[in-house]
Amino acid sequence: MGTKIIEPLTGHIVHDDVGLIIEESKRFNEFLGGFILSFAKIESMLYKVLLHYANISDAVGRSILSGTRVGGLIQYIRAIAANTDMDEKRKQDLEVVFGRLESINGMRDELIHRARPGYSPSGALISNI
């Protein structure tokens, strides 16, 4: 048995194996880093989809879209789809992808901007409170 970690408000033992906590933290950080890198690739591909449908070069895209994130890229593509003769099947396909990306993006934002790591008696947890 290693050093005990005590919950300051209740005095309950939160965890008694610091080595395990450190190992779990490392694994969590590796998974989180992999998720962030994968999501960045998706964001880059979405940018390229927007360039395609807007019919603009990368140089023009960089000058007018710099800093635009997933939500904004999706909104631009939706606006192009609504104001061009884009095939209805293509619009439907894009909406399926957009719905999933918006869900993933929401969770990504929670993890990146609002989550704080902690530990409970049953293991690691993430909380936005």
pLDDT in tens, 13-22: 666 666 777 7
Answer yes or no: is pLDDT of 121 > 90: no
- Asked if residue 3 lies in contact with residue 13, where contact means CB atoms within 8 angstroms, the answer is no
Domain ranges of the chain: 5-127
Cβ 102 vs Cβ 74: under 8 Å: yes
What's the confidence (pLDDT) of residue 47?
A: 97
Q: How confident is the model at residue 24 (pLDDT cuts 50, 70, 90)?
A: confident
pTM: 0.73
The yes-or-no verdict on residue 5 having pLDDT over 80 is: no
Residues 43 and 51 sit within 8 Å (Cβ to Cβ): no
